């Protein structure tokens, strides 16, 4: 700031803007503003820039990433919100703006729209279908609880469970149920109980509150953890008028944590009383059945009479039948024995032994006759052979040689019967009665020139 010659105090633009900014910091340190969002822009840096307006005015606003990352929703144009922050002056442009540190929807607002969008999407996937919901065990032996270990809802559930069954085993898987990251902790606690695998039903919830307070149970990560749980889950979030996404996905829904405890575990005394009543009714029914059966048995016994008398008659009939059977068997055996004797006698008369003896005798006689005939035949043949030998000897060549005949053979030893086979100079061997001659052919004389008669007379 400088002083003018005429006494006026002159400010520079930057100096004046800095003084205004310093004044605003002292006056509007923290305040709440209600308005409607317009011109909403989310930069890649994570910062949000928008305008807050109502029917009378509008203000520029900014919400830096360090603050908006804690929100569970992202606003859009037209949302009615409540903003907590401070009024500031952006010196470079001279813009008066609200620097938001916290934001929440007013009325139904953005959270309600986020709720409806997620509900519609998970419903389309079938996570709310009744067919996929599992039955709650009738009498569980161990209960799992997912809630904050500091919550009043936990004490309510433990009190109700202890009153209904003081011997019930309880496993607590603690998690935060409100604030940033609470949904992930609830899902992790549900998964932990499924990995342990000892509990038979899980109570998951907290006490009532605003929609923002209950928002952890509207997160998708919790809904999918309940859907994949192998153990039945009872959702117990808020009061009777409060519904969350977890309520729609769970296998059963209770209006309050205390109601969930009552739903999960029957009263032990009621069970024992019911068991005693059923036992009494069963005994009475059995007694009635026994009495009815006894009466029926007495009636049938009267209709049956004295069975031993019927048995006596049956015994006599059996004895009579046995006697008739024995007589019949003896008569049959006698007939068969007579038949056997008759056949034995006939067999003796027709026995092959006698025929065999006669046949053997005939065989011996035939063999003797054959031996005699064979000896006679052999003797006759032998005599005929001697006679034939004598005749052959008388007619043989040796006998002819003794009467002056000779046998001529060629050089190769063949007997000569025709002189025409020889030629002059051939060698001939002549066999006489006594000895033999080796001759040479001087002349071959034809048969027509021979005169054996004349030759013999000379």
* Direct distance between the N- and C-terminal alpha carbons of the chain, in angstroms, rounded to an integer: 213
Asked if residues 59 and 52 have their Cβ atoms less than 8 Å apart, the reply is yes
pLDDT for the residue 308: 63
Neighbours of 226 (CB within 10 A): 25
| Predicted local distance difference test score (pLDDT) of residue 449 | 64
186-192: which pairs have CB atoms within 8 A and are 24 or more residues apart? 186/146, 186/216, 186/217, 186/222, 186/225, 187/221, 187/222, 187/224, 187/225, 188/225, 189/146, 190/146, 190/222, 190/225, 190/226, 190/229, 190/233, 191/225
User: What pLDDT is recorded for position 456?
Assistant: 47
Given a cut of 50, the residues of the chain with pLDDT beneath it are 453-458
Full-model pTM: 0.45
> pLDDT tens, 196-232?
888 999 999 998 877 778 888 999 999 999 999 999 9
Cβ atoms < 10 Å from Cβ of 310? 11
User: What pLDDT does 230 receive?
Assistant: 94
What pLDDT is stored for residue 26 in this prediction? Answer: 59
The domains found in the chain, sorted by start residue, are 2-106 (2.40.50.140), 113-266 (3.40.50.261), 400-445 (no CATH)
The reported pLDDT for the residue numbered 457 is 43
**Residue 265 CB burial class (10 angstroms; 0-12, 13-18, ≥19):** buried
pLDDT for res 129: 93
The residues with which 104 forms a beta bridge, in sequence order, are 82
Q: φ, ψ for residue 162 (rounded to 5)?
A: -65, -35
Predicted local confidence at residue 173, as pLDDT? 93
């Amino acid at each position: 700031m400088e002083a003018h010659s005429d006494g006026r105090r002159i400010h520079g633009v930057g100096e004046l803007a800095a003084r205004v900014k310093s004044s605003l910091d002292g006056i509007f340190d923290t305040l709440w503003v209600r308005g409607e969002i317009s011109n909403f822009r989310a930069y890649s840096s994570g910062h949000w820039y928008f305008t807050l307006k109502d029917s009378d005015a509008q203000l520029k606003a900014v919400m830096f990433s360090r603050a908006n990352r804690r929100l569970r929703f992202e606003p859009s144009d037209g949302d009615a919100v409540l903003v907590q922050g401070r009024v500031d002056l952006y010196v470079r442009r001279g813009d008066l703006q609200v620097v938001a540190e916290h934001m929440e929807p007013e009325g139904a607002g953005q959270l309600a729209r986020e709720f409806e969008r997620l509900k519609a999407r998970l419903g389309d996937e079938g996570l709310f279908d009744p067919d996929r919901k599992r039955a709650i065990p009738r009498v569980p032996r161990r209960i799992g609880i997912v809630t904050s270990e500091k919550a009043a809802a936990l004490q309510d559930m433990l009190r109700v469970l202890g009153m209904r069954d003081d011997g019930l085993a309880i496993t607590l898987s603690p998690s935060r149920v409100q604030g940033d990251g609470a949904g992930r902790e609830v899902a992790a606690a549900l998964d932990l109980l499924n990995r342990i695998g000892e509990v038979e039903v899980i109570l998951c919830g907290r006490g009532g509150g605003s929609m923002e307070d209950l928002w952890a149970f509207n997160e998708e990560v919790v809904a999918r953890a309940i859907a994949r749980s192998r153990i039945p889950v009872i959702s117990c979030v808020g009061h009777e008028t409060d519904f969350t996404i977890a309520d729609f996905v769970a296998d059963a829904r209770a209006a309050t944590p205390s109601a969930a405890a009552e739903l999960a575990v029957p009263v032990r005394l009621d069970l024992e009383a019911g068991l005693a009543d059923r036992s009494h009714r069963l005994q009475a029914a059995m007694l009635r059945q026994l009495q009815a059966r006894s009466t029926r048995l007495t009636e049938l016994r009267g209709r049956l009479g004295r069975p031993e008398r019927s048995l006596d008659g049956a015994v006599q009939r059996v004895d009579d039948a046995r006697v008739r059977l024995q007589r019949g068997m003896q008569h049959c055996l006698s007939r068969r024995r007579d038949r056997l004797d008759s056949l034995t006698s006939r067999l003796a008369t027709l026995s092959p032994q006698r025929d065999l003896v006669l046949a053997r005798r005939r065989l011996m006689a035939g063999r003797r006759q054959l031996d005699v005939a064979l000896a006679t035949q052999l003797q006759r043949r032998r005599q005929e052979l001697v006679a034939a030998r004598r005749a052959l000897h008388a007619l043989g060549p040796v006998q002819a040689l003794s009467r002056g005949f000779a046998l001529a053979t060629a050089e190769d030893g063949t007997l000569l019967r025709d002189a025409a086979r020889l030629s002059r100079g051939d060698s001939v061997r002549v066999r006489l009665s006594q000895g033999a001659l080796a001759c040479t052919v001087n002349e071959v004389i034809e048969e027509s020139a021979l005169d054996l008669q004349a030759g013999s007379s000379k």
